[in-house]
Amino acid sequence: MSEAQLRRPPKRRLPVEWLGILPFVAFAMLFLIMPTMKIVIGAFQSPEGGFTLQNLIDLNTDSIRSAYWTSIKLSLITALLGCAAGFAMASAVVFGGLPKRVRSPLLTFSGVASNFAGVPLAFAFIATLGPAGLVTLWLKTEFGINLRAMGFNLLSFWGLVVTYLFFQIPLMILIIIPALDGLKREWREAAEVLGATGAQYWRMVALPILFPSILGTFALLFANSFGAVATAFALTGPQLNIVPIKLFAQIRGDVLGNPNLGYALAFGMIVITGLANVTYIVLRTRSERWLK
């Protein structure tokens, strides 16, 4: 073969291999990519079809701003609490000297609970912490504690936080238990023998090793609660001012009075979950230099 031939890539054959994933690519294009692109493009289109930034500018109203802010707050808090509580339970089971028997039921239950979201979950919490719920009544009759008078209302921000934790915590448990299992006993013993305290071991060895997993779960939990509609809708109806509920109402009845503002609202959601994931990927690559 001459040098020129070597340098120039040979004439492309029909890439037969790529045909094998054609159905998948077609599916992804039609039902994932294009619908999303439609939203993204729509966010920059005027009703007449021209390019405009007006939709995004129009998002800047008190009501929409506060909806975004509430949604972000809700997602951050439930992701944070979910990670913390899930981590506490998982490490209690893995390191806390709890009997081995509790581990497998906990994992199974977490699998169930992390999928027990949406409408039925809202019902369960209404029956428990709602105005006539089991715990509410019990606290009132047995201890004279009136949750409502103390400012707790299930159909409010904090009520939503408590409800979301029911699927956020198990999700964290499901992901973090295998990661905790991956911590080798030798690492802890090596650290101890070298003079490290338990706290030093966690700070310098265990947490840095777990960091990517924790971070990834955090991003997942964030997106999980940011996009959740059903639980909030079944719990509070259309009244709570968070982005997914607002978008839901907009799609159903154009409550914003401007179809293209709906695109912008949805586009904002993609941007935020997207940003959360980009942050995650960046942090992860930086913290995983020591992996292959």
Partner 1 sequence: MTRFFAWTAFLLGVLFFVLPLVGMTEFSLKMRRGEYSFDAYRRVFEDQRFWDTFSYSLILAGATIVFGVLLVVPTAYWVRLKLPQARPVIEFITLLPLVIPAIVIVFGYIRLYNTSSVLPLTGSALGTDFLLTMGYATLALPYMYRAVDTGLRTIDVATLTEAAQSLGAGWITILARIILPNVLVAVLSGAFLTLAIVIGEFTMAALLNRPAFGPFMQLLGANRAYEPPALAVIAFAITWGCMGLIQLVTRFSKHERAKV
Partner 2 sequence: MAFLDLTNLEKVFGTNRVVKDFSLGVDKGEFVSLLGPSGCGKTTVLRMVAGFETPTSGSIRIDGQDVTDQRTNQRAIGMMFQAYALFPNMTVADNVAFGLKVKGVPRAEREARVIEMLQLIGLPDLASRFPFQLSGGQQQRVALARALAPQPRVLLLDEPLSALDAKVRVSLRNEIREIQRELGITTIFVTHDQEEAMSISDRIVVMNGGIAEQAGAPFEIYNNPRTRFVAGFVGTLNMFTAMVEDAERGLITVAGQRIALATGAIEARNGETVNLALRPEAIRLGRAVSCEVVLPATIEAVHFLGSVIRVRARVAGTVVALDTFNRPDQPPPPLGSTAEISFAASDVILLPA
What does the binding site for partner 2 look like in residue numbers (CB under 8 A)?
184, 186-187, 189-197, 200, 204-205, 208-209, 289-292
Q: Which of 81, 86, 124 is nearest to 106 (CA)?
A: 86
> Whole-number minimum distance, CB 292 to partner 2, in Å?
6
Contacted by 127, from partner 2, partner 1, none: CB < 5 to 8 Å by type: partner 1
Measured from the CB atom, the residue of 2 and 25 that comes closer to partner 1 is 25
Phi, psi of 100 (to 5 degrees): -65, -25
> Whole-number minimum distance, CB 156 to partner 1, in Å?
17
Measured from the CB atom, the residue of 122 and 209 that comes closer to partner 2 is 209
Measured from the CB atom, the residue of 22 and 194 that comes closer to partner 2 is 194
Distance (Å, rounded) from C-alpha 197 to C-alpha 269?
44
Distance (Å, rounded) from C-alpha 2 to C-alpha 197?
66
Measured from the CB atom, the residue of 209 and 276 that comes closer to partner 1 is 276
Phi, psi of 50 (to 5 degrees): -85, 165
Cβ atoms within 10 A of the Cβ of 136, count? Answer: 20
> Whole-number minimum distance, CB 3 to partner 1, in Å?
27
> Whole-number minimum distance, CB 54 to partner 2, in Å?
49
Distance (Å, rounded) from C-alpha 166 to C-alpha 78?
10
| The pair of three-digit structure tokens given for residue 162, joined into one six-digit string | 């408590």
Contacted by 186, from partner 2, partner 1, none: CB < 5 to 8 Å by type: partner 2
